[in-house]
Structure 1
Amino acid sequence: MNQTLRKDANQIVTASIRAVLPDEAVERALKAFSPRGGRTLLVAAGKAAWQMAYAAVAALGHVDGGVVVTKYDHIRGNIPGVDCYEAGHPVPDENGFAATGKALDLISDLSVDDTVLFLLSGGGSALFEQPLLPGEELQDITRQLLACGADIVEINTICKRLSRVKGGRFAEACAPAQVFSVVLSDILGDPLDMIASGPAYPDKSTCAEALAVVEKYKLAFSAQAMELLRRETPQVLANVTTQITGSVRELCAAAAAECRALGYEPVLLTDQLCCEAREAGSMLASILRTHRGDRKKLAYIAGGETVVHLTGKGLGGRNQELALAAAPGLAGLKAAVFSVGSDGTDGPTDAAGGYADGETAAALAAKGLDAFAVLHENDAYHALSKVNGLITTGPTGTNVNDVAVALLLP
Structure 2
Amino acid sequence: QGSLPGVTCYEAGHPVPDAASFAATQAVLDLTAALQPEDTVLFLLSGGGSALFEKPLIDPAELQDITRQLLASGADITELNTIRKRLSAVKAGRFAQWCAPAKVEAVVLSDILSDPLDMIASGPAAPDPTTASQAQALVAKYGLQLSSAAHACLARETAKSLDNVRTQVIGSVRELCRAAETECRSLGYEPVLLTDELDCEAREAGRFLAAILRSHAGEGRKLAFLAGGETVVRLTGQGLGGRNQELALGAAAGLAGLRRAAVISVGSDGTDGPTDAAGGYADGDTLEELTARGLVPHEVLTQNNAYYALRAVDGLIFTGPTGTNVNDIAVALLQGS
- The TM-score with structure 1 as length reference comes to 0.81
Superposition map of 1:90-109 within 5 A: 90-109=15-34
Amino acid at match of 1:326: A
Instruction: Report the Cα distance in structure 1 between the residues aligned to 2:129 and 2:46, rounded to whole angstroms.
Output: 19
What's 1:235 paired with? Answer: 160
What's 1:253 paired with? Answer: 178
Task: Tell whether 2:201 aligns with 1:276.
Answer: yes
1:143-192 deviations in whole A, cap 9, x for unaligned?
Answer: 00000000000000001100000000000000011000000000000000
Instruction: Report the Cα distance in structure 2 between the residues aligned to 1:354 and 1:263, rounded to whole angstroms.
Output: 22
Amino acid at match of 2:236: T
1:6-28 deviations in whole A, cap 9, x for unaligned?
Answer: xxxxxxxxxxxxxxxxxxxxxxx
Task: Tell whether 2:115 aligns with 1:155.
Answer: no
Instruction: Report the Cα distance in structure 2 between the residues aligned to 1:263 and 1:81, rounded to whole angstroms.
Output: 45
Instruction: Report the Cα distance in structure 2 between the residues aligned to 1:225 and 1:79, rounded to whole angstroms.
Output: 39
- Give the match's secondary structure for 1:88: coil
Instruction: Report the Cα distance in structure 2 between the residues aligned to 1:409 and 1:180, rounded to whole angstroms.
Output: 46
What's 1:206 paired with? Answer: 131
Task: Tell whether 2:163 aligns with 1:244.
Answer: no
What's 2:120 paired with? Answer: 195
Instruction: Report the Cα distance in structure 1 between the residues aligned to 2:176 and 2:67, rounded to whole angstroms.
Output: 28
Instruction: Report the Cα distance in structure 2 between the residues aligned to 1:302 and 1:155, rounded to whole angstroms.
Output: 22
For the aligned residue pairs, the C-alpha RMSD in angstroms reads 0.6
Instruction: Report the Cα distance in structure 1 between the residues aligned to 2:163 and 2:216, rounded to whole angstroms.
Output: 53
What's 1:356 paired with? Answer: 282
Task: Tell whether 2:42 aligns with 1:112.
Answer: no
1:206-227 deviations in whole A, cap 9, x for unaligned?
Answer: 1011111111111111111011
1:110-169 deviations in whole A, cap 9, x for unaligned?
Answer: 111111000000000011000001110000000000000000000000011000000000
Instruction: Report the Cα distance in structure 1 between the residues aligned to 2:220 and 2:266, rounded to whole angstroms.
Output: 28
- Tell me the number of residue pairs that the alignment of Structure 1 and Structure 2 aligns: 335
Percent identical among aligned pairs is 70
Amino acid at match of 1:130: K
Query: By how many angstroms is 1:263 displaced?
Result: 1.2
Instruction: Report the Cα distance in structure 2 between the residues aligned to 1:217 and 1:129, rounded to whole angstroms.
Output: 23
Amino acid at match of 2:314: N
What's 2:140 paired with? Answer: 215
What's 1:21 paired with? Answer: none
1:316-364 deviations in whole A, cap 9, x for unaligned?
Answer: 0000000000001001112100100000000000000000000100111
Amino acid at match of 2:240: L
The one of 309, 319, 322 equivalent to 2:247 is 322
Instruction: Report the Cα distance in structure 2 between the residues aligned to 1:343 and 1:243, rounded to whole angstroms.
Output: 20
Task: Tell whether 2:264 aligns with 1:338.
Answer: yes
Instruction: Report the Cα distance in structure 2 between the residues aligned to 1:243 and 1:308, rounded to whole angstroms.
Output: 30
Instruction: Report the Cα distance in structure 2 between the residues aligned to 1:306 and 1:402, rounded to whole angstroms.
Output: 8
Query: By how many angstroms is 1:257 displaced?
Result: 1.1
Query: By how many angstroms is 1:380 displaced?
Result: 0.3
Instruction: Report the Cα distance in structure 1 between the residues aligned to 2:167 and 2:4, rounded to whole angstroms.
Output: 23
What's 1:396 paired with? Answer: 322
1:360-398 deviations in whole A, cap 9, x for unaligned?
Answer: 001111111111110010000000011110011111100
Instruction: Report the Cα distance in structure 2 between the residues aligned to 1:235 and 1:330, rounded to whole angstroms.
Output: 48
Amino acid at match of 1:219: L
Instruction: Report the Cα distance in structure 1 between the residues aligned to 2:149 and 2:2, rounded to whole angstroms.
Output: 40
Query: By how many angstroms is 1:236 displaced?
Result: 1.4
Instruction: Report the Cα distance in structure 1 between the residues aligned to 2:308 and 2:16, rounded to whole angstroms.
Output: 22
Instruction: Report the Cα distance in structure 1 between the residues aligned to 2:33 and 2:158, rounded to whole angstroms.
Output: 20
Instruction: Report the Cα distance in structure 2 between the residues aligned to 1:184 and 1:292, rounded to whole angstroms.
Output: 37
What's 1:173 paired with? Answer: 98
Amino acid at match of 1:277: A
Task: Tell whether 2:328 aligns with 1:408.
Answer: no
The one of 78, 85, 100 equivalent to 2:3 is 78
What's 1:70 paired with? Answer: none
Query: By how many angstroms is 1:237 displaced?
Result: 0.9
Query: By how many angstroms is 1:274 displaced?
Result: 0.2
Amino acid at match of 2:164: N
Query: By how many angstroms is 1:80 displaced?
Result: 1.4
Query: By how many angstroms is 1:409 displaced?
Result: 2.1
Task: Tell whether 2:109 aligns with 1:184.
Answer: yes
Query: By how many angstroms is 1:260 displaced?
Result: 1.1
Query: By how many angstroms is 1:83 displaced?
Result: 1.1
What's 1:145 paired with? Answer: 70
Amino acid at match of 2:288: A
